[in-house]
């Protein structure tokens, strides 16, 4: 693979896999453009060198071919604004209403240096998700260099994310700037972590996080478990958890994880106390109580004061921090204190020199909500991809470029 920052794109047509899978409201307006802004530096570098960029992405999950709701055409104006925002540029953005075929190849052929072509939704073809080789080859003809900047889909072996790479010589395929920083931040945490290394895992379900916890047992010194998933562990240890979330069929797994952690000398921290509520609602009555003595009819919806104190202390003493998943139902104000104070502890540790990586939809939403995104070392754009990376899986989008 080539190094993107060293590559001179002058005269090249760069076919760039981006992740423009942004949320749209009922008026087809973009409600969060993070994924688009994250890849703008990659596009700008190609254009500044004197290259042109052909952008391809999926949007949503179209079931039956072309559907207006999922058309990337709705993104063209905003892309134009993002590329020309400061008024000094006049980057032309063209749109091809089919990602392969005559119009796409004609527009790509006539594209001049400094111009951009956005292709229609790749998933309008079933071949994309199937990783179809012929479809990938057709796409590959639209450019002479392949750049993958879509970390969010790096865990998928799709035509445009992985299969396509084989149609470019090794020196003509590379990660974009975003992909590169995602991969280096993740590698830094997983393979070059300075100790103590604390992983903070939260969210609703143990079943979603078993593989990541098992893999982290090989690397971390401390694992903090919060959120709804903590109660399966607490019940498995004999605690009374009332009506809190619990996956009874995962209790043995929870016990196995606790046992393995002991053998490997990894400290697992469960919340000693919880904020419990008498209903799952914003106006519930609440109390701070020991997490293993929750009365029937009550449920733990956030970590309690004592747990926050203990978790924060562990975090503040860490040199490497990974955070995935909220500590409670942070969408409701009454239950957001745990997530907020844990985010603040991560920010403090980062200020003192720790490397902190936050990833996964809800923890990213939380750092944004509390205005702490610029107080952590890296906020990942990849939910599922990051999770799979930390589960120890090979991500096809990364492997295809490197191989």
Residues in 265-284 that interact with ligand AMP by CB under 6 A? none
Residue pair 165/398 in contact (Cβ under 8 Å)? The answer is: no
Residue 210 · residue 337 · CB < 8 Å:
no
Q: Does 227 bind ligand AMP (CB under 6 A)?
A: yes
Minimum CB separation of residue 126 from ligand AMP in Å reads 28
Sole binder of ligand AMP in the list 131, 143, 304, 328 (CB under 6 A): 328
Pairing relationship of beta strands 173-175 and 52-56 according to DSSP bridges: unpaired
Q: Does residue number 300 form part of the binding site for ligand AMP (CB under 6 A)?
A: yes
Question: Does residue 384 have an active-site annotation?
Answer: yes
Tokens of 4: 């993107």
CB 384 within 8 A of CB 322: no
Tell me which of 51, 131, 228, 396 binds ligand AMP, using CB under 6 A: 228
* Structure-block tokens of residue 393: 């899986």
Q: Which is nearer to ligand AMP, 12 or 250 (CB)?
A: 250
Task: Output the CA torsion sign for 57, 62, 65, 67.
Answer: negative
Site for ligand AMP contains 383 (CB under 6 A): no
Q: Is position 362 an interface residue for ligand AMP (rule: CB under 6 A)?
A: yes
84, 91 in Cβ contact below 8 A?
Answer: yes
Q: Is 35 a catalytic residue?
A: yes
Q: Name, in order, each residue with C-beta under 8 angstroms of 402's C-beta and a sequence gap of 6 or more.
A: 1
Active-site residue, 173 included: no
Catalytic residue among 50, 60, 309, 384: 384
State how far the Cα of 161 lies from the Cα of 166, in Å rounded to an integer.
11
Beta bridge partners of 340: none
The interface mask with ligand AMP, positions 301-320, x = CB under 6 A, is x-------------------
Nearest distance from C-beta of residue 198 to ligand AMP, angstroms = 18
Cβ nearer to ligand AMP, comparing 318 with 336: 336
Please report, as ranges, the residues that interact with ligand AMP according to CB under 6 A.
Answer: 203-205, 208, 227-228, 245, 300-301, 325-326, 328-329, 331, 360, 362
């Amino acid at each position: 693979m080539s190094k993107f920052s060293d590559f001179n794109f002058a005269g090249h047509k760069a076919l760039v896999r981006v992740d423009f899978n942004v949320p749209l409201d009922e008026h087809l307006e973009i409600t969060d453009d993070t994924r688009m802004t994250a890849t703008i530096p990659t596009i700008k570098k190609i254009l500044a060198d004197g290259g042109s960029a052909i952008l391809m992405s999926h949007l949503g999950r179209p079931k039956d071919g072309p559907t207006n709701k999922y058309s990337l055409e709705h993104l063209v104006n905003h892309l134009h604004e993002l590329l020309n925002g400061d008024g000094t540029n006049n980057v032309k953005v063209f749109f091809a209403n089919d990602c392969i075929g005559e119009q796409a190849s004609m527009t790509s052929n006539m594209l001049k240096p400094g111009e951009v072509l956005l292709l229609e939704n790749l998933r309008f073809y079933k071949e994309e998700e199937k990783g179809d080789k012929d479809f990938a080859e057709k796409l590959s003809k639209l450019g002479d260099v392949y750049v993958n900047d879509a970390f969010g889909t790096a865990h998928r072996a799709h035509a445009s994310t992985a299969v396509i790479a084989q149609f470019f010589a090794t020196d003509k395929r590379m990660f974009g700037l975003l992909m590169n920083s995602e991969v280096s931040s993740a590698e830094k945490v997983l393979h070059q972590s300075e100790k103590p290394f604390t992983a903070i895992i939260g969210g609703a379900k143990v079943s979603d996080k078993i593989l990541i916890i098992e893999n982290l047992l090989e690397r971390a010194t401390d694992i903090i478990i919060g959120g709804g998933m903590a109660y399966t562990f607490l019940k498995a240890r004999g605690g009374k958890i009332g009506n809190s979330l619990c996956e009874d069929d995962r209790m043995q797994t929870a016990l196995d994880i606790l046992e393995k952690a002991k053998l490997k000398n990894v400290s697992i921290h469960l919340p000693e106390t919880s904020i419990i509520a008498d209903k799952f609602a914003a106006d519930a009555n609440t109390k701070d109580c020991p997490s293993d003595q929750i009365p029937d009819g009550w449920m733990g919806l956030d970590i309690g004061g004592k747990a926050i104190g203990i978790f924060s202390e562990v975090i503040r003493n860490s040199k490497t921090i990974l955070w995935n998943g909220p500590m409670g139902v942070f969408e409701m104000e009454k239950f957001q204190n745990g997530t907020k104070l844990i985010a603040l502890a991560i920010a403090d540790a980062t200020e003192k020199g720790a490397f902190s990586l936050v990833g996964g939809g809800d923890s990213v939403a939380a750092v944004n909500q509390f205005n702490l995104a610029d107080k952590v070392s890296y906020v990942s754009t990849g939910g599922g991809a990051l999770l799979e990376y930390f589960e120890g899986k090979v991500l096809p989008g990364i492997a295809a470029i490197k191989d």
